[in-house]
Chains A and B, each alone.
Chain A
Amino acid sequence: MRMFKYVLKRIALMFFVLFVITTICFILIRILPRDLPLENSQKEVILARWEALGYNKPLLVQYGIYWKNIITKWDFGTSWYISYRKPAWDLLVSRLTPTVLINVYSLLFSIPLGLALGVYAAIKKNKWQDNVISTLVIVFISVPSYVYAFLVQYLFFFKLGWLPLQLHSLADAGNSYFTWKMFHSMIGPIIAMSFGEIAGLCRFSRAELTETLTSDYMLLARTKGLTRAQATARHAFKNAMVPVLPSIIGSFLAIMSGSMIIEQIFSVPGVGPLYLRSIATLDYDVFMLDCLFYTFIGLVGGIVIDLSYGFIDPRIRMGEK
């Protein structure tokens, strides 16, 4: 019951923060001057639409209209430049698939690898295997992801010619993101994104596992006759995973917004490039929705990480003083 109350409190707080941030963003974005297209007929249409949508009313009234549209019609405004008169929400949703896909693939690839390396390093603590892995981890965590992107492009496109330089367009790959051809062109960004992810996960799981391996209950497990492997698998591993799993969930949400630069380099038609284009063309409604999207992802990520601790390990009671 207390858990339930805590969850409710966190969600309520989240919406409060989201509301405040929306308000700030809305004001900052709406007071910007708007550019009009040069073509006259389109200009008139847009001006008429803006008048009808209340863009010329006072700011507070506009803000009211904005919320009213969201609540009654789930209407987050319209794209005027990127995709003429398409609802901003539809635009965002259509861009979501490739972003999510690449992230999911990358995680499917990096979670087992990262965990395995981390566990291996922890078991071989302070031996040469651990030293090699730990050194590599520092290197891979520190080097920015786009450097990998260039490396991947150089190695797999120029030298070996195995992968295309950039993502295939949707039409090229049979009008679907789930074709083999599309997947083939996605391997580049997936690899580029995975390096940092693997390294982060490896470091985290190594740290957690080394800590549990030296704890008292491991000594007890050994004294009661379990082999080292049995004790590690049954006792240490489970306990070490308690903080690792939430971090995986968190990292999924985090790289949703962090993959912007990779998407740009591999020209993935995802959310990141949409954000950049909405700035370049000053397509405000899309820009606004993008800001909301990133904020929302961040907020949800925080809550999910906190709550998952409680679900994974019943010993941790959320909201305790």
Chain B
Amino acid sequence: MSTENIKDIKIDPSKFSFVNEADKLHDKKFEDKPIGYFKDAWIRFRKSKASVVAAIIILAVIAFSIIAPFCIKSHDQSFMVTTYAKNSPRIVVLRNLGFKTGYTSRDFSDRSLMKALAIGVGAEEYKGQDVSFADAMDSEYMPILEIKKITQSVGPDKKPINTYTADIETYLEVGFLYKSIEQQELESILAWEQETGKKILYPLVENNEYNMDPTDGNCWYKSDAKGNPLKEKGDKVTKIKEYDPSLILADNYKRDRDGNPVYYEYTGGGSVDTAQYKIRVLYINYYEYLYGAEPNYVFGTDAQGRDLMLRLAGGIRLSLLIAIVVSVVNFIIGAFYGSTEGYYGGVIDLIMERISDILSNVPFIVVATLFQIHLAKKVGPIPCLLFAYFTTGWIGTAYRVRTQFYRFKNQEYVMAARTLGAKDKRIIWKHIFPNSLGTIITSAALTIPSVINSESMLSYLGIVKLGSAARTSLGTLLSDAAAIWTNYPHLLFFPAVTLSLLMICFNLFGNGLRDAFNPALRGVDE
């Protein structure tokens, strides 16, 4: 009955109208933005504070390695002054503020203490006025900064021995040196002295047959064969054996007939241009004259006399560059290799897997050594090292990619793509590969610290020799320091701290990435 009724109802079509004809209906827009895979990862990465801090530190270290060369204007990475080799950090800014800088603490005997003090006295005393040790302590050229402790002991011959523990500025300890220069340079030095008011030339010293080193000009006072200063009272000559602050040393300067000290001596050469002069220079000022700035080595100098900070910055750059190149190349090789074996499977997989099996079982150190021995002379040590990493480094990445492909290749969406006629290439790169991207990026990020570590190990062991005048690596810096760091700890300290910092931060950063790219952790801790 009811159906008939419905059939009977007739409504005039003109009575129908659209609900709202005026505005079109749309789906409601999401109020928040959609969260994609990478965005999701970024949100999770941001939450892990340690990783963020690590990332910031890494950026800071990289920034240091790039900016450092621009901050030091007076010299560059290959600039080398052997006179100032192995010296501790000397920062001019701090020094001008009155801090002790560029010094080491050392024990002195009476004689060696007086020898060091005499440099400061000599720098002040040249005019002939009497300057005692105590007076010269304020001089800016005084190498002994502070005598901290005096210990007394008894020597084997029952005589008392004083041992002075003092801070000595190694840059000033060099003191006076003899130099042989030409007429022209002499004139320019004199002009420079006029201009700046700083003194380079100091009086020459009377020949002293006991002074063994012909370039050393520090023994300007009257002394005996052992270097003990002498005191002349009338005809009586006595040795000064004990340090006394009020002591005034008798100078031994070369003098002309009028009794004035001689500042330069003609040693040979005919014409005006080739005339050779022997002069005695205060090295720290001579350095400033030569290179245009006071010695300013923020991290000290290395074993050859190069600026350690610039070497370190260069080392960081080289090590990071190698690590990044290796990581990118292995990323690419691993992605191709892994996706090929994972996607095709079967015999191809079996054969490729055996190849990577064999390669992965050759110890890396053997690979690196063989490459170095065979090719280092032909293509250089850095390409050799890179080849060694390229030979075996990608296997881990390839393995991970392969596993991901095995997981995803038989899933419905891949079959759907195949049914729709997608080619292998498209399925591999568009459909399956993005799924493994997270793991690969993580492994690429973790490759960096492991490459830095193994590179530094190989250079430390001397298997890879990356050091040269123009470049160095972190491991090379460490290996240069290895034999002598006990006496010059700063040589080891700065590279070791930098390397450790980089390793810790990259590992933290990599772990953060791994957690961030793990979708299973989505929403945990919220």
* Residues of chain A whose beta carbon lies under 8 Å from any beta carbon of chain B: 13, 17, 20-21, 24-25, 28-29, 32, 138-139, 141-144, 146-147, 150, 153-154, 158, 257, 260-261, 264-265, 275-276, 279-280, 282, 291, 294-295, 298-299, 302
CA distance A299 to B362 in the complex (A): 9
Question: Using a Cβ cutoff of 8 Å, how many contacts connect chains A and B?
Answer: 83
When chains A and B are docked, how far (Å) is the Cα of A299 from the Cα of B369?
19
Minimum CB distance partner of A149 in chain B: B482
Contact between B361 and A17 (Cβ–Cβ < 8 Å)?
yes
- Whether A138 pairs with B363 at a CB distance below 8 angstroms is no
* Given the contacts A144-B456, A144-B499, A146-B457, A138 and B507 also touching, CB distance less than 8 Å: yes
Residues of B within 8 A of A257 (CB): 363, 365
B497 to chain A: closest residue by CB: A147
Contact: B361 with A295, CB < 8 Å? yes
- B423-467 with Cβ < 8 A to chain A: 449, 453, 456-457, 460-463
Residues of A within 8 A of B363 (CB): 257, 291, 294-295, 298
Q: Is the pair B457, A142 in contact by a Cβ cutoff of 8 Å?
A: no
A275: chain B residues at CB < 8 Å are: 365
Shortest 7 CB-CB distances between A and B: which pairs?
A142-B503, A142-B504, A294-B363, A143-B500, A142-B507, A291-B366, A147-B496
B482 CB contact (under 8 Å) in A17, A265, A282 = A265
Contacts A143-B503, A150-B485, A264-B461 known; A28 to B449 CB distance under 8 Å?
no
Using a CB–CB distance below 8 Å, which chain B residues touch chain A?
A: 357-358, 361-363, 365-366, 369-370, 373-374, 449, 453, 456-457, 460-463, 478, 482, 485-486, 489, 492, 496, 499-500, 503-504, 506-508, 511
Q: Which label, helix, strand, loop or mixed, suits the secondary structure of the A interface?
A: helix
| Given A147-B496, A294-B365, A276-B507 contact (CB < 8 Å) | no
- Asked whether B357 lies within 8 Å of A17 as measured between CB atoms, the reply is yes
Interface pair A32/B374, CB less than 8 Å apart: yes
User: Which residues of the partner chain B approach A158 to less than 8 Å between Cβ atoms?
Assistant: 486
Cβ 8 A contact of A144, one of B357, B453, B482:
B453
Q: Within 8 Å CB of B503, what residues of A?
A: 142-144
Provide the residues of chain B in CB contact with A264, threshold 8 Å: 460-461
- Further pairs besides A295-B362, A298-B361: 8, Cβ < 8 Å: A24-B362, A25-B366, A138-B504, A142-B506, A150-B485, A158-B486, A291-B363, A299-B361
Q: Is the CB of A142 within 8 A of B449?
A: yes
Kindly provide the distance from the CB of A146 to the nearest chain B CB, expressed in whole angstroms. Answer: 6
Tell me if B463 and A279 are in contact (CB < 8 A): yes
Supposing A144-B457, A291-B363 touch, asked if A21 and B463 sit within 8 A by C-beta, the answer is no
Supposing A144-B457, A147-B500, A264-B461 touch, asked if A138 and B365 sit within 8 A by C-beta, the answer is no
- Known contacts A142-B449, A142-B507, A295-B363: does B373 contact A147 (CB below 8 Å)? no
Nearest CB in chain A to that of B363: its residue: A294
**Cβ–Cβ contact B504 & A261, under 8 A:** no
Report A211 CB to chain B, min CB distance, Å.
Answer: 13
Cα–Cα, bound, A138→B489 (Å): 25
